[in-house]
Amino acid sequence: MRKTTKLLKKNLQVAIDGPVAAGKSIAARMLAKKLGILYVYTGAMYRAVALLGFKNNLDLTKEDPLVELLEKSEIKLVPSKEKDKICTVLLNGQDITDELFTPRVSWGSSQVGILPKIRKILVKKQQEIAQNQPVIMEGRDITYRVLPNADLKIYMTANLDIREKRRWKDLRKKGIEKKLKEIIKETKKRDYQDSHRKTDPLKITKNAWVVNTSNMTIKEEINVVLKKLQEKGLIEIV
């Protein structure tokens, strides 16, 4: 008999942080589907800002022109109907999802992610999304900046060599051919940028539950989180 889950808290908040290719996105998306709640991939918002800058020929190191453009634009995340897509991202009503996962936009998202005014705008949007509905939200600063009072805070990670290979496989699936050496260099650079930026750097908060996914399948990741939610009395599995 197939088991079902029932929320025991109306406005459940699950916050997930962690480095690139730790398994956050797919696990968060599938958990949200299992629980029947909204999944918010905050990284897509930073990617959308980077793409917005590129489309308008802006220098991503200069904050004010980018802020001005962002304030005139609408970024919206909606559940994807396609199995292999994390979510659908709309920029001013246009689906830009397929444009967001290139190496150039990945670099750009890390660049705009260090800009304080951009982060302030996007954090506010993310908090508004989680105000009146249950959510699973993942990114780099969710456990301490976006949802500091989340019911469950997770820091999801994996060994560097595992993350590099995952990233390489993901890019190949998208038709982007890169040598593993390039991926290793990019992953290390991204890790450094995320953990050393002045505004809201990636870090493990004191009350976060650290989950190392190096030797886990996606199914195992999901089951271990569901078990933790059940132990905390936040869901019921029947």
Chain segment 129-146, per-residue pLDDT in tens: 999 899 999 999 999 999
pLDDT of amino acid 177: 81
Supply the pTM of this predicted model. 0.88
The answer to whether position 232 is within a domain reads no
What's residue 84's pLDDT? Answer: 64
104 CB burial (10 A radius; 0-12, 13-18, 19+): exposed
**Total of domains in the chain:** 1
How high is the pLDDT of residue 1?
56
Domain contains 53: yes
Residues 6+ apart with CB under 8 A from 30: 218, 222
In a domain, 51, yes or no: yes
Query: Which runs of consecutive H residues, i.e. helices, occur in the chain?
Result: 24-35, 42-55, 63-71, 103-112, 116-129, 160-173, 180-196, 218-231
Do the domain assignments include residue 3?
no
Angle ∠(18,171,67) on CA atoms, nearest 5:
60
d(CA 21, CA 18): 9
Specify if 106 maps to a domain. Answer: yes
Judged against a pLDDT cut of 80, whether residue 85 lies above it is answered with no
Domain membership of residue 2 (yes or no) is no
Backbone angles phi, psi at 136, to 5 degrees: -115, 120
In a domain, 237, yes or no: no
Task: Flag whether 48 is in a domain.
Answer: yes
Residue 61 has pLDDT above 70, yes or no: yes
Q: Which domain holds residue 187?
A: 11-226
Q: Residue 212: give its domain's CATH number.
A: 3.40.50.300
Q: What is the pLDDT of residues 180-229, one digit of tens each?
A: 888 889 899 889 988 998 889 999 998 999 999 999 999 999 999 999 99
Give the side-chain half-sphere CA count within 13 A for 116.
Answer: 2
194 is written with which tokens? 């995320």
